[in-house]
Amino acid sequence: MTSKIDSIIEDFELLDNWDDRYRYLIELGRALPPFPEEQRSDRFKVQGCASQVWLVSEPAGGADDLRLAFHGDSDAHIVRGLVAILLAFYSDRTARDILAADPGAVFARIGLKDHLTPQRSNGLRSMVERIRADARAALEGAAA
């Protein structure tokens, strides 16, 4: 069975030019489920992003199989697409897998690593760190 992130990678590889890839990235962002207005707060806002980005993690399971589901949004189209890719990569994985995973390899494979502005790259790093911080906090909470 192909995972959501594998499907996204395959779709990117089918697109020959960057105009099409950016359009696809925007489509991925538009396909995100609606984000609840009450979660557009400082509590869920990702610090270090030039655009506004909100990420919410929802842990489930016990200490041995603690999984996190994520949902998020951004006020910028391309960044919202980056959020969609990160959610496809990280959601429903164990907290330990999240901490061990390397999203940089995915972004390099689809070529985004070389086609993001420094500002978007910094924001992407901030989003990844936030997801990892949520995974660490969930693990600490499960161990307590």
Where in the sequence numbering do the catalytic residues fall? 49
Q: How many CB atoms lie within 10 A of CB 113?
A: 14
Q: How far, in Å, CA of 93 to CA of 69, rounded?
A: 8
Residue with tokens 């992003």: 49
Identify whether the C-beta of residue 73 lies closer than 8 Å to the C-beta of residue 82: no
Angle between helices 77-90 and 18-30 (to 10 degrees): 70
